[in-house]
Structure 1
Amino acid sequence: MIKCTLKDLIERHEVTQTDIANATGITRPTLLALMRNDAQGIKFSTLEKLCDYFNIEISELLVSDKRYKPTKQEQLDNLINIARQLKSELQ
């Protein structure tokens, strides 16, 4: 599966979805879907705008999930979900 690193790029560059939307014309719902990795597809023009905005190659924006490294926040969210599941199983 292909993963989008947009969430990590936003954190590293300390920008907001609004900053990107204003600069690129990409809608916030599109950005959110890419950040969550639940987009069903992506236009080439969107890819190009994001690569230009962050001054990166497409290989830095889209990666194989075999090479994808979750952000610290994603790792923390995963641990919280595991703890919640364990707690519910104990009750």
Structure 2
Amino acid sequence: MAPAEGDEASDVHCRLDELLAAKGMTLTRLAELVGVSVVNLSVLKNDRARAIRFSTLQAICEALGCEVGELLVLRPGRAQT
């Protein structure tokens, strides 16, 4: 499988907004707990991240009490070319 081109949108969606709302937590508080900047979390939240460190992913999931599969999901229905 070839890597995605720079202009292509990813088929991976980050559910950070929904999980934060469910926990009643702000992005700022999550940034404090995880030890990353609000800007970096915002990039992830808006599906603009191109990569994430496993340690950051683990810290986010621990802070939100979720599994990786609850945070990152594949978007259904996008046709492969």
What range describes the TM-score normalised by the shorter chain of this pair? 0.7 to 0.9
Q: Taking every aligned residue pair, what percent have the same amino acid on both sides?
A: 31
Q: Structure 1: state its 5+ residue gaps.
A: 68-91
Q: In the TM superposition, what is the alpha-carbon distance from 1:53 to its structure 2 partner?
A: 0.5
1:54 lines up with 2:57 in the alignment: no
Larger Rg: 1
Aligned residue pairs, count = 67
Q: In proportion to residue count, which structure has more helix? A: 1
Moved over 4 A (4+): none
TM-score (norm 2): 0.76
Written as runs of structure 1 = structure 2, the 5 A alignment for 1:12-23 is 12-23=22-33
Among 28, 31, 43, the alignment partner of 2:38 is 28
Q: Deviations over 1:24-75 (max 9, x none)?
A: 10211111011111111111111000110111111101100119xxxxxxxx
Q: In the TM superposition, what is the alpha-carbon distance from 1:14 to its structure 2 partner?
A: 1.3
**CA-based RMSD:** 1.4
Q: Structure 2: state its 5+ residue gaps.
A: 1-10
Q: In the TM superposition, what is the alpha-carbon distance from 1:8 to its structure 2 partner?
A: 0.9
